[in-house]
Amino acid sequence: MSSDKNDLIEIKCVRARSWQRYPCTVCGGCTEKVDVHAESDALPPKEGSVVAESSTWGWHDVIRVCESCLEAGDIDERLAQRAMEIEAGIERRAAESRQHVQFLRSLVGRLKVPTFAQWEEAGRALSLERFQMELASAYERGKPEKAEAIKEDYEELYGGQLPEAYERAFVAARGGKNV
């Protein structure tokens, strides 16, 4: 892809907008936290381009050249190298995606999964177990106020009313005393 003089984009030394790193269009890396960036004016998107269709691609708004690329020189060679790297990555991801599609298709009809109700019951059982462990730990450390806070957290989780199994666990953790 060649360009004529009318297509040239001038890169200028400009004051950095803020003290942070910005992406480099040339190498794909970032600037350092510097006061001056080498970048173009904001680019208007070309009609029908990907850039015009997607305003979320902010890295197309300006062309920025980091200080490492400036120091290395040969910007055209670095641009071509980065384009090849991206292209290779696209091809690799496409191959990985095809493999993943094959894997997913190989699973069709082979998965034996629990029902949602079974999943919910397992979650309730583990939640109760965690509640009991947290209470026991609080009382073992001599921190009954922590146990009360744990109980309040679970009450809030259950809409203000602790399920009966949790109430029994709380009383058991207190040594059978219901206060």
Is 4 contained in some domain? no
Is 16 contained in some domain? yes
Is 146 contained in some domain? yes
Is 45 contained in some domain? yes
Q: What is the mean pLDDT of each run of 10 residues along the chain (179 residues)?
A: 68 89 92 92 67 45 92 95 94 94 94 92 83 84 85 79 77 69
Looking at residue 49, its pLDDT comes to 56
How many distinct structural domains can be found in the chain? 3
Looking at residue 55, its pLDDT comes to 40
Is 1 contained in some domain? no
Residues 120 and 150 in one domain: yes
- In terms of DSSP H, where are the helices of the chain? 50-53, 67-72, 75-107, 116-140, 144-157, 164-173
Looking at residue 135, its pLDDT comes to 82
CA distance readout (Å), 156 to 10, 28, 43, 160: 60, 48, 53, 5
Residues 103 and 139 in one domain: no
Q: Which domain holds residue 151?
A: 116-173
Q: What angle do CA 157, 158, 164 make, to 5 degrees?
A: 130
Is 134 contained in some domain? yes
Radius of gyration (C-alpha) of the chain in whole angstroms: 30
Looking at residue 133, its pLDDT comes to 85
Looking at residue 54, its pLDDT comes to 41
Beta carbons within 8 Å of 63's beta carbon, 6+ residues apart:
9, 11, 25, 39, 40, 43
